[in-house]
Structure 1
Amino acid sequence: MGKDMLPPSDGGDSAVPVDLKKALEERYLAYALSTIMHRALPDVRDGMKPVHRRIMHTMRLLRLNPDQGFAKCARIVGDVMGKFHPHGDQSIYDALVRLAQPFMMRYPLVDGQGNFGNIDGDGAAAMRYTEARMTEVAVELLEGITEDAVDFRPTYNEEDEEPVVLPGAFPNLLCNGSSGIAVGMATSIPPHNAAEVCDAAIALIDNPDCTTDDLLKYVKGPDFPTGGVLVESPEAIREAYETGRGGFRLRARWEKEDLGRGQWQIVITEIPYGVQKSRLVEKIAELILSKKLPLLDDVRDESAEDIRLVLVPKSRTIEPNLLMESLFRLTDLEIRFPLNMNVLSRGKVPCVLSLKEVLREWLDHRRNVLLRRSRHRLGEIEKRLEILAGYLIAYLNIDEVIRIIREEDEPKQELMRRFSLTDVQAEAILNMRLRALRKLEEIEIRTEFDQLSEEKRQIEGLLGSEEKQWKTIRWEVGKVRQTFDPDKNPSLGRRRTTFGQVAEHDLEDVQQAMIEREPITVILSEKGWIRAMKGHITDLSSLSFKEGDGLKLAFHAQTTDKILMLSTGGKFLTLGADRLPGGRGHGEPVRIIVDLEADQDIVTAFPYNPDRKLLVVSYAGNGFIVPEKEVLANTRKGKQVMNVKAPDEARFCVPVEGDTVAIIGENRKLLVFPVSQIPEMARGKGVRLQRYKDGGVNDVKTFNIAEGLTWRDSADRVYTRSREELLEWTGDRAAAGRMAPKGFPRTGKFG
């Protein structure tokens, strides 16, 4: 040790300066790698994370086979923690419980006895109460582990050994899926149907150059343990499996149950994977109470062993598909399960693999296991053949062998010298029992020798031919497929998740179905504050406004309506009536709710009616007719309909309710002309409606000429002028018009 490294002898601090950035980088990288490699990502070969692998290995050592008795989970967890997995007992037990839950695992690896939780989200009983053993699927995963099929590594305290990966005769990664969050990466793989995965693997063995499309003839999509209906498009499914990234829309399975006399209810029999049933029912109940599901009256959970959620509609006239569509949008009756096949490739490299690559790596692993098991068996055969050859020599020279054993001081050396035996053969002869010296034994040894020689020849043939290896693997995969054949074993093998189409519903209808229909009165103030009062109010005198503000306009509507507003800049803005601020205060400024330019104001507002047409007029006297459904905007920014340049601005928007237009300017000149002279457009500046030397439009109105033109004066008296009386004001569009008739209000408005 250098003098400068020694701690000071005066008893002071012995701190060594460290670069904080470098130290943090090193430590965080070590933590990230540990999380990725040893906790969060599954191995592509056996589809397991270390904790699951260690649980399986421990259960094998405890001999908890499917045909044996159960052992306490506390015993299993204790052994896993003490020998292999230096983490908390609760995390190990949680992993063990999940492996036993039939609603989480498509093919459970653990057969649990006791309370292992339920689909409502209730936890399992404590580990001291529950018991477990392996299932047949787990046995398939471990098959050949004692035959040098996989590498072993020292455990954390180097007292024992654990498998690096399991032999994995069952395609566990795809069949049971996996999910986990590491550092900077995550994985999410849904469960699949074992028979389909095996079929795809066999297709890949038969044709190594097959494409994703070829494999998708067998693997149709995920197969969740809780069933459900997959409503993803075939293109999206193909893209997901091709790239290893994507997602699947999964919906609950439901049916309409007839109660007679026109009454009906909806029964949900399968809910999406990973959704807690009790939370789902609570969420639906909350939405009913908050009036966000006006079509639904009640929800009941009548589940026993099977799921049965009953939805009661508000009335029998409701369309069931529309009700369900609104539920799918608002609740977890529809989820999107992500696909992110981020796995440890070859057990070392985290990367996102496609469906073909995942199957390829699993098959390559199976080939590696086959070669290792074959070599291991070959070694055992060779050892046994060596001993059997020694036995045969002994039987042929039995008298001499007995003499040497009886008379020689070192019989082993003498036997080896006399008959050219190996050490192993001589040791085996000396260990023979006397009862084995009968004639029958010799025949049995010869038979065994011939059988083992034949097996050795076959294994050497297998190891020397890649074609034979793949043929063997194909046979092994076929054997696994038989176990999960939908026809022979429907309870385990039959596909549970089916495919469906999303019912085509007008988005507008679905939106409406999610709003409670109630009458409201919309109030807009002079300074642009808007609110919605409950009910249809007729007396507006009691309304309060901020100081210096007053009523601009008020109208009746329903919460299901859309409210259209026209700005002075010629832009139409759309608001949902259900989203308007309540009427308790003064409301909110329109500018906060929609994007309205600072120099612009609201001209008018009214409930949307898709069957109407609107006449839009600017201050300068330009105008055109636009169908109301053309002005509906889908964003906050609104829709530019009338093109106006300052100082001109949009000033009027009136519904077209007749065949004639009456327009009056600030110069009090009135012009009457047919509506047919105004063009219909979706957007533009419009055409000149009336000509002025100075000033602009004061008011505009549409009416039926047969009924005459009416207006109200300041004393609220109604005047009507017939067609004949209006002849001197009737002309063509863009004329100047004539001074308004006697009795026309001084305000210049039609009233």
Structure 2
Amino acid sequence: MSEHDDEIPSALSSEPLSRAIGDRYLTYALSTIMHRALPDARDGLKPVHRRILYAMRELKLSSTGGFRKSAKISGDVMGNYHPHGDAAIYDAMARLAQDFAMRYPLVDGQGNFGNIDGDNPAASRYTEARMAKPSESLLEGLAENAVDFRPNYDGTLEEPVVLPAAFPNLLANGASGIAVGMATNIPPHNLDELVEACLAMIAKPAIEDDALIDFIPGPDFPTGGVIVEPRENILTAYRTGRGAFRLRAKWEIEDLGRGQWQVIVTEIPYQVQKSKLIERLAEVIQTKKVPALADVRDESAEDVRIVLEPKTKTVAPEMLMGMLFKNSDLEVRFSMNMNVLIDGRVPKVCSLKEVLRAFLDHRRDVLCRRSQHRLDKIAHRLEVLNGYIIAYLNLDRVIEIIRTEDEAKPALMRENWAVTDGAPVFLTEVQAEAILNMRLRSLRRLEEMELRQERDNLLAERAGLEELLGSEKLQWKAIGTELKDMRKQFGKGTAIGARRTSFADAGEVEEVPIEAMIEREPITVILSQMGWIRAMRGHNALDAEVKFKDGDGPRFALHAETTDRIVMLGANGRAYTVLGANLPGGRGMGEPVRLMADIPNEVEITHVLVPKEGEKYLLASTAGDGFICPAEELIAQTKSGKQVLNVKAPDQTAACVPVSGDMVAVVGENRKVLVFPLGELPEMAKGKGVRLQKYKDGGLSDIRTFTAAEGLSWKDPAGRTRTETDLSEWEAKRATAGRMAPRGFPRDNKFN
């Protein structure tokens, strides 16, 4: 063992694993929250977007100038300010140029920047970009010390901490992002309405969110649409910073003549890809979830035009759209979570008022900093002007000093330029430097009147700026003027500023039952032994000959209508439902019913029925338990079915018969018959039920209900109908064993 074995290098330290992981994960979380996912409440931008706009400004890509390759822009952003992947930077820049994603696009793109169908932008080497007009408003004031700067990631350059932001971009364009433990999702709004709200806040700082909603009734999405969220919910969302907005597509009816019509969708909800919406509508047609919809076509060019053809002209357009809103992305729910960084440091879920207040306070800070910067520039210029005036009044002496002195600058500063009997006047270093840097051609322009006029103008401007900085009232007035200028550029009177999203009452398109949208026609439902189902047109004879696949044969046949819900009861006591209109036609062999409903392969279908409103059914298991169930409780809303009768293997469903009359007759596999009053059975939505008949061995074979006055009927072995009115021999209390069946009772122990 060496003498160095017990030495631990000083660079190593020991700490619990949980603390080490926790500290590092916290660092990562803070970095994600502050530098990636959440926008700043002041300018509404994340760091990547802020760096893109700043880099475009440094490249002098103004909204009226030329375009540059997107690859050049994303490369500069990556190399100078944002040390992340160029693909991520380009994707972020491309989104800023998409007019269907941004309410007020910040980048003016040339080339393929993607479309509302969901197609990706072309590669960065093919597209070009420059700043859009709104982004210039966000950057205005950077050269006037409006905001703080910080070193870039390698310390070679500087970048702004936040942009001056002449309009509330956070709400105007919205934002979305997922951080660690928190997320944000802010919808875009109308700039004109935001300016009105800001002016109202300036006039009345204590204004409440309830009053602000009068100016900002809701989001304004770039793709338009119709908001159907109640005003109370919108107010709650803006007051708390969390909520949701129901957004529907905008549609209209196009008359085709002769009573024919079709629906034209002209605006789709925000962030819904049109191609996927068309696919979803096609799937709705294929699965017959909306039977009234016959076809969907995309006839869009520059605008959105989706054609929806109804199956029949008798269906109401409102009914058709009501079902489509429920079953497709023609209606979406946009969740709002106004989680933003306050002062670029503290994440907070803010109300509408808090977000606008953060913007206005930022604008005031920008105004004061720009004013102070201008004051400093004026002070410097006044100093230079005073030097010029001295030089003009003593031009010959200035020229003499410059020609004769080896060091002209110190000589100019030593010279007393005072008028006779006046106080001594000396040039400062700045003034001497400015005089020495003058060109000879400028000497003729150094006219005293012009210099004094410029000095007087600067003195007046300085007085105004000093008054502005000393008066909060004047500051807010100036901010209001700036906001009104923004409204002139991007307000409702401009092409980009008009509100696109409208409001409506959701009640105008109510949800309707599927049956109301289907043309009612008679059908004959046939289910084969192997589980293939089909619907023949019309009410055919139930024993009519029908073709089946090899090895298959008839099992169930019943009359129904296309608007009916067909219920299949499995041996497991579970009810499965299919709509008559969704059944395949009778020309072929049909389709496996197990594809239309999630019926396990091992579960046998024991009964098929068409439950009608107001009817009741008597359900019973082979164990001899049962109850009365209302017809509507047998209808399942999902493909997986609905458990109605609780049975345990090896028991299974034995009977499902319609209830009529006042008595119940039950026969067991032991041929014992029991008759008791119907009132002894409970009415339940689901369950095991109560004991119907007691057995030592075997189980329940059949059950039926009848009217005591009419008697109990059955067919004897010879096929003749026999009716027994005196049933006193078999009448007893429910759950007793009963007595042997009367002579002539069918050998299969079935009443029918």
Matching residue of 1:451: 457
Q: 1:748 to 1:125 in 2, by over 3 A?
A: closer
Alignment of 1:169 with 2:166, yes or no, is: yes
Matching residue of 1:597: none
Matching residue of 1:575: 576
Q: How does 1:277-676 map to 2 (within 5 A)?
A: 277-396=274-393, 411-415=411-415, 418-432=424-438, 441-486=447-492, 488-489=493-494, 491-503=495-507, 505-506=510-511, 508-509=513-514, 520-521=525-526, 533-535=533-535, 561=565, 563=567, 574-577=575-578, 582=592, 606-614=609-617, 628-629=631-632, 654-657=657-660, 661=663, 663=665
**Per-residue deviation, residues 544-587 of structure 1 (Å, max 9, x unmatched):** 99xxxxx999867679515286999xxx96532369994589x9
Aligned counterparts of 1:562 and 1:505: Cα–Cα separation in 2: 25
Aligned counterparts of 1:81 and 1:738: Cα–Cα separation in 2: 93
- Count of residues paired in the alignment: 712
Secondary structure of the corresponding residue to residue 493 of structure 1: coil
Q: 1:534 to 1:17 in 2, by over 3 A?
A: farther
Aligned counterparts of 2:303 and 2:521: Cα–Cα separation in 1: 33
**Per-residue deviation, residues 350-393 of structure 1 (Å, max 9, x unmatched):** 23222221111111111111111011011111111222233334
Give identity over the alignment, percent: 50
One-letter amino acid of the structure 2 residue matched with residue 715 of structure 1: A
Aligned counterparts of 2:453 and 2:732: Cα–Cα separation in 1: 116
Structure 2, unaligned runs of 5 or more = 418-423, 537-541, 584-590
Q: 1:7 to 1:145 in 2, by over 3 A?
A: farther
Q: State the 1:126 CA deviation.
A: 2.9
Aligned counterparts of 1:664 and 1:22: Cα–Cα separation in 2: 72
Matching residue of 1:598: none
Q: State the 1:145 CA deviation.
A: 0.7
Secondary structure of the corresponding residue to residue 64 of structure 1: coil
Secondary structure of the corresponding residue to residue 271 of structure 2: coil
Find the partner of 1:273 among 270, 287, 308.
Answer: 270
Find the partner of 1:717 among 685, 708, 720.
Answer: 720
Q: State the 1:198 CA deviation.
A: 1.4
Aligned counterparts of 1:460 and 1:588: Cα–Cα separation in 2: 79
**Per-residue deviation, residues 692-749 of structure 1 (Å, max 9, x unmatched):** 9x9999977556899886432233212357xxxx59979x999999999886668886
Q: 1:390 to 1:48 in 2, by over 3 A?
A: same
Matching residue of 2:53: 56
RMSD of the TM alignment (CA)?
5.1
Q: State the 1:38 CA deviation.
A: 2.2
Q: State the 1:110 CA deviation.
A: 1.3
Q: How does 1:196-215 map to 2 (within 5 A)?
A: 196-215=193-212
Matching residue of 1:527: none
8 Å contact from structure 1 (residues 179, 188) kept in 2: yes
Secondary structure of the corresponding residue to residue 327 of structure 1: helix
Q: 1:716 to 1:18 in 2, by over 3 A?
A: farther
Aligned counterparts of 1:103 and 1:604: Cα–Cα separation in 2: 54
Aligned counterparts of 1:483 and 1:224: Cα–Cα separation in 2: 19
Q: 1:514 to 1:339 in 2, by over 3 A?
A: farther
Q: State the 1:230 CA deviation.
A: 1.8
8 Å contact from structure 1 (residues 416, 422) kept in 2: no
**Per-residue deviation, residues 612-650 of structure 1 (Å, max 9, x unmatched):** 2456899999999875447767798969999x9xxxx99
Aligned counterparts of 2:718 and 2:486: Cα–Cα separation in 1: 94
**Per-residue deviation, residues 61-82 of structure 1 (Å, max 9, x unmatched):** 2222122222222332232222
Aligned counterparts of 1:176 and 1:744: Cα–Cα separation in 2: 81
TM-score relative to the length of structure 1: 0.79
8 Å contact from structure 1 (residues 292, 514) kept in 2: no
Q: 1:744 to 1:512 in 2, by over 3 A?
A: farther
Q: State the 1:107 CA deviation.
A: 0.7
Aligned counterparts of 1:623 and 1:123: Cα–Cα separation in 2: 61
Q: 1:459 to 1:562 in 2, by over 3 A?
A: farther
Aligned counterparts of 1:621 and 1:160: Cα–Cα separation in 2: 87
Secondary structure of the corresponding residue to residue 415 of structure 2: helix
Aligned counterparts of 1:288 and 1:322: Cα–Cα separation in 2: 15
Q: Which moved more, 1:138-147 or 1:31-40?
A: 31-40
**Per-residue deviation, residues 511-568 of structure 1 (Å, max 9, x unmatched):** 98799998655689xxxxx9664457858999999xxxxx999867679515286999
Secondary structure of the corresponding residue to residue 65 of structure 1: coil
TM-score relative to the length of structure 2: 0.79
One-letter amino acid of the structure 2 residue matched with residue 575 of structure 1: Y
One-letter amino acid of the structure 2 residue matched with residue 103 of structure 1: F
Q: State the 1:348 CA deviation.
A: 1.5
Structure 1, unaligned runs of 5 or more = 525-529, 546-550, 594-600
Alignment of 1:82 with 2:88, yes or no, is: no
